[in-house]
Structure 1
Amino acid sequence: MSASSKNFDVIWTRKRRQSFELENEVRELRRQLATRETTNAALEWPILTPAAPSEARISEAAVSSVSGASGVSPDPKESSRVPGLTTQPVIDQPQAPRRSIITIPRARKLGNVELSVEEIDELYLIYILHYHPYLPFLDPSTSLHEYYESSELLFWSIISVAARRLQSHPTLLPKLARSVTDYLWKTLRSIPYSLRAVQSLVILCTWPFPTSSSTADPTYMLAGMMVQIGTQMGLHRALNAEDFVKVPLHLSVYEYSEWVKTWEACNIVAQSVSVGCGLPATIQMHDWSLTVAPESTMSSPHDIALRWHLRIEQFRYRVSQALTSNALDPAGFMSARERLSLYRLLNASLVDLEREAINMTPITRYYLAAARLHVHSFYLFDEPSVDGYSDRIVVLYQTAYSLIEQCLEMDNQESGFFHYCPFFCYQVFVSAAFIILKVMMNGYFEKLLDIEAGKRLLDAAISSLRKMSVANNDLPGRLSDVIGFFCTLPDPRVISGDSVDDLRLRVRNRLSMSIVYDSLWEWRKHFQSDGGDNENSEETQDKLMIPNYAHFR
């Protein structure tokens, strides 16, 4: 047989197989359609796999209560209307959910990245199992192929997060970083925005692409844009969504729930990013719409976890606002006497939160531990002469110690905390590590602490930061090197001195993250030449294989 005949046979066989697969797919879709029409011809349920979101199948009483109170209608086409009114009358009856478009799974391509249907399904499963629990605002019952039909950016954002630890395709994340970032900026240039665009920003701000320079990281800016876009769309007033558009808009119960959860996620992420960067918040935590959650939006454990996360971030927002609202102080700090009173009130509020969350998930308990560290980190701004200063610093050390231990315990479980946690969790973790380092190395406090246990914990923290690292030379990897460098210095007093007065921070304007930037300032100063020659300083750092501090400013 000639070579051309063999090639023809191969091509013919491949086409025949593709035709057979397509016929099977069409036959399956017809079977699903026939089944739906036979079993329930009166209802317009979606004929997709997976099935329609469970939240849409609510009781008649729940629909009536939400619809009557807020104007939210299960179906705008069937609801009774009065001309000139933007809300639905209480007498509206529940209708069937809107029909969804039939979505046929297909391979997808962006730039030089092409994924098969099997790869897409695998990546979505990774996202739902490992990343979704940290910020459960999306509906897991909606397939990734359905998300693609409504927003390509959201689709590729989810794919990018799931690809962070994909060992079978190690080049996928670097390829996506370039293509998805370009697509993001293209989307942000296109007005008006959609709910899916906001959801994409939520995901990309929670798990940003790895970078070696915090000055080049756009996450804080994107978080601000996320909140502004959501506000402009009216996410903060989902009860009156029509006030923000020019055409009639009546949200179904499921859509209303989706708006509420997306707005909650916006505020959670914006506050978390602000704390992690040590910068002012760009959110509206005092917004009344965040204080009342309709029961129809909290129908699953994930919804409850999201609401708890929001409450914790609201608390952290109050902490920052309460302790740094003095216009007469250069850094905004309240007076020493006022701070002591505020510490007592804030700690009491935190204890109440922890008491309510006794049966919560490990992730929620971690967020509570991060909130406690946020409060206690402000103890470093107190004057050593103020009563109880040493006791508060010891409490801060114990809080940081406990948080690191809790993270290690979570990572030892099946969850794999260090592999999948959001970037703002890394920022809190590195803050705790620097607190352990600075307090433990101080000549005064080393007499009050178990130094050997602290050193072992710090070694574990360094290893954990390297475990968090997603790409070579990214921020978690760099910061682990900085902490490791301080641990190996012959003189441990370099970072925090001998006396209790030496523990005071020089950097005082980065809120609870000031300890990180203060330590990096000390690290940078260690490599500066006596003449202050930056070029010589950089050459010295390169010889010692230590990253340049400019990347962390």
Structure 2
Amino acid sequence: MCRYYTYYHPLFPIAPELPHLLQCYLSQLPLFWTIITIASKTTKENPSIYLALSSAIPKLIEKILHSNGKELWMIQALLLLCCWPLPFGPKSADPSLLYSGLATSSALEIGLHRYKFPSDFTYDEPYDEDRAFMQKKTWLACFILSQHLSTELGVPTCFHIDRTIISALETPDIRIPCVLRDQLRTAYLGFRISNSLGNDILSFSGLSSNRMQLIHLFETDLAAARTVNTGDRDTSGEICFLAVSLQLYSYALEHNIGEGKDNTDDSSRCEILLRGYHAAMELVQIAVTNSFEAPYWTRQIYQSVIHAITFLLKLCSSSAPQLSVIDSPSTRNLISQGWDFLRSGSLMENDHLFRISTLVAYLSKLEEKDPQLPRLSVQSRMSANVMYDAVWRAKQRFSPEVRNMRPADYTTTAVLEELSASWAENVLNEDGLFRHWNSVITNY
């Protein structure tokens, strides 16, 4: 368990030793319970303990939501649950963006963004250097997670850059752990890319009309960041950095409809897509090679692998001669290894990683290819367009009856359809009753 805390410590102001945690946080039981629950995920002796402990977390969140005061420990607990979320099924059931928003608004309310002025937010509160430093780190974590989650969902972040963040970037505090410094720089670079290329105020979809020019400009920033910050970067940090690179290159994919269209020639677009291909391959390779660390990785690592695999699958769906080098046995083999990685992270049937691995398996088997350069049907989800395009395509694996229902959870509805059809066939099929299975499911 102590090893798990070494992964918590760089990003959040939580001590790495259990005795110190007990001393500091015993009075703040919800935070302590959150830490114990997340850490129990790696318990090999009794793997069911994690799911058992997880059942108590919603009550703790309810306590936070109904609390009259905002406390630092509340914000930390919410951020931890964003980093290492409890198991959930469809994406719509993931509360992480809500938790991140609540953490950020609570942090603003108690003045973490103005940590040098505590008495402005709490009457007659004296300035304490240690507490101020803890507040500063927590505020930086609020920004990092807000950016990660917004990128994952393909929506603009509600976070506003302030002097605290800029100061931490310009004049790094040597007390801030190296991993946190690297995560901050990577998140800020992703923030700039997202807002420039995917959140253009002149575009209804958000896509900038001069995306290719901006991609070339940001490549310079990526090259500088890769050489300057290598000393602060661990394995997970390298994956996050490659994810931001892939985030940039994803904007080179063309769209099926014209809004946000640029007039770039195919050769320039192919050059960018090939660089994206190499970034995606490197990202997945690092993840599968270091998969022994996976139980301690945050959701951002898994999401980075998902983005990389869906990007590779999209490139493989094209038979354009300019991209012929991409759909190769080595690419397919690495996608398969990435599928194994995602599937191994699933904790129960039909949780999110289980669903994603099923999606990858389906798309990997599709043989029909588009003779054009790869195009996306989704265009308003920023760099996540490529992932949501894959999700939309994968819905074709469900029956027309299920798709026509447009349920919030296609997987569960499909299971119900199969069960209903099986039940009716076994029990009632002798009389030819219930020939229209859709009516059975609707009334299920």
TM-score, normalized by length of structure 2? 0.84
2:359 maps to 1:482: yes
Q: Does the CA-based 8 Å contact 2:253-2:273 persist in structure 1?
A: yes
Q: Which residue matches 1:341?
A: 213
- In structure 2, the partner of 1:262 is 138
CA apart distance, 1:530? 8.5
Deviation of the 1:261 alpha carbon:
0.8
Task: Tell me the distance in 2 between the aligned counterparts of 1:291 and 1:384.
Answer: 32
Equivalent residues of 2:207, 2:382 under 8 A apart: no
Letter in 2 for 1:377: S
| Cα distance in 2, alignment partners of residues 134 and 346 from structure 1 | 27
State whether residues 164 and 470 of structure 1, in contact with CA within 8 Å, keep that contact through their aligned partners in structure 2.
no
Distance 1:280 1:214 in 2: 17
Q: Is the 8 A contact 2:197 2:208 kept in 1?
A: yes
1:274 matched residue in structure 2 = 150
Query: 1:308, CA displacement in angstroms?
Result: 1.7
Equivalent runs, 1:19-418 vs 2, <5 Å = 123=1, 125-129=2-6, 131-132=7-8, 135-140=11-16, 143-245=20-122, 247-284=123-160, 286-293=161-168, 297-299=173-175, 303-335=177-209, 338-360=210-232, 361-381=234-254, 386-387=264-265, 388-411=268-291, 416-418=292-294
> Which residue of the partner structure matches residue 101 of structure 1?
none
Stretches of structure 1 lacking an aligned partner (at least 5 in a row)? 1-122, 545-553
Distance 1:288 1:200 in 2: 25
Deviation string 1:466-487 (CA, Å, 9 cap, x unpaired) is 1222333211111111111222
Quickly say closer, same or farther: Cα 1:217–1:298, change in 2 above 3 A.
Answer: same
Separation of aligned partners in 2, 1:342 and 1:464: 33
Q: What amino acid is aligned across from residue 520 of structure 1 in structure 2?
A: V
Residues 256/134 of structure 1: CA separation in 2 closer, same or farther (3 Å cut): closer
Q: Name which structure has the greater RCO, CA cutoff 8 Å, separation 6+.
A: 2
Q: Residues 136 and 243 from structure 1, CA distance in 2 versus in 1: closer, same or farther, beyond 3 angstroms?
A: closer
Distance 1:324 1:531 in 2: 32
Tell me the distance in 1 between the aligned counterparts of 2:278 and 2:394. 24
Report the counterpart of residue 428 of structure 2 in structure 1.
none
Asked if structure 1 preserves the Cα contact closer than 8 Å seen for 2:194 and 2:382, the reply is yes
Give, in angstroms, the shift of residue 526 of structure 1: 4.2
DSSP 3-state at the match of 1:291? helix
Asked if structure 1 preserves the Cα contact closer than 8 Å seen for 2:156 and 2:199, the reply is no
Asked if structure 1 preserves the Cα contact closer than 8 Å seen for 2:31 and 2:76, the reply is yes
Please give the secondary structure, in 2, of the residue aligned with 1:251. coil
- Aligned-pair CA distance for 1:148: 3.1
Q: 1:429 to 1:469 in 2, by over 3 A?
A: same
Contact kept, 8 Å, 2:211 with 2:262, in 1: the verdict is no
Taking a change above 3 Å as real, the CA distance of residues 330 and 381 of structure 1, as seen in their structure-2 partners, is farther
SS in 2 for 1:212: coil
Q: Is the 8 A contact 1:505 1:518 kept in 2?
A: yes
1:330 is paired with a residue whose SS is coil
Quick check: 2:198–2:208 contact (8 Å CA) kept in 1? yes
Q: CA deviation at 1:438?
A: 1.5
Report what 1:524 is aligned to.
395
Counterpart position of 2:304: 428
The 1:535–1:218 alpha-carbon spacing in structure 2 relative to 1, beyond 3 Å, is closer
**For the structure 1 residues 510 and 531, does the alpha-carbon distance in structure 2 shift closer, same or farther, using more than 3 Å as the test?**
closer
1:22-79 superposed Cα distances (whole Å, 9 cap, x missing partner): xxxxxxxxxxxxxxxxxxxxxxxxxxxxxxxxxxxxxxxxxxxxxxxxxxxxxxxxxx
Taking structure 1 as reference, are residues 171 and 307 closer, same or farther at Cα in structure 2, changes over 3 Å only?
same
Matched, 1:466 2:343: yes
Structure 1 residues 428-484: Cα deviation after superposition (integer angstroms, max 9, x where no partner): 210111111111131115523251111100110100001222333211111111111
Separation in 2 of the partners of 1:466 and 1:425?
14
Task: Measure the CA separation in 2 of the matches of 1:279 and 1:437.
Answer: 23
Within 2, Cα distance between the matches of 1:267 and 1:400?
25
Describe the shift of the 1:288–1:205 C-alpha distance in structure 2 as closer, same or farther (beyond 3 A): same
Distance 1:384 1:438, change over 3 A: farther
Q: Distance in 1 between matches of 2:16 and 2:138?
A: 14
User: Is the Cα–Cα contact under 8 Å of residues 240 and 304 in structure 2 kept in the other structure?
Assistant: no
Q: Is the 8 A contact 2:395 2:403 kept in 1?
A: no
TM-score, normalised on structure 1?
0.68
Moved more, 343-352 or 443-452: 443-452
How many angstroms apart in 1 are the aligned matches of 2:76 and 2:403? Answer: 46
**1:384 touches 1:500 (CA, 8 Å); kept in 2?**
no
Is the Cα contact below 8 Å between 2:11 and 2:137 reproduced in 1?
A: no
Q: CA, structure 1 residues 326+533, in 2 after alignment: closer, same or farther (shift >3 Å)?
A: closer
Q: How much identity, in percent, do the aligned residues show?
A: 24
Aligned partners of 2:226, 2:406: CA distance in 1, in Å?
A: 51
CA RMSD in angstroms comes to 2.6
Q: Cα offset for 1:311?
A: 1.3
Contact 2:402 2:414 (8 Å CA) reproduced: no
**Larger mean Cα displacement after TM superposition, 225-234 or 143-152:** 143-152
**Computing the radius of gyration over CA atoms, which structure comes out larger, 1 or 2?**
1
| Structure 2 residues not aligned, in runs of 5+ | 256-260, 420-444
CA contact (8 A) 1:212 1:474 kept: yes
- How many residues in Structure 1 have an aligned counterpart in Structure 2? 404
Name the counterpart of 1:500.
372
CA–CA distance in structure 1, aligned partners of residues 26 and 171 of structure 2: 29
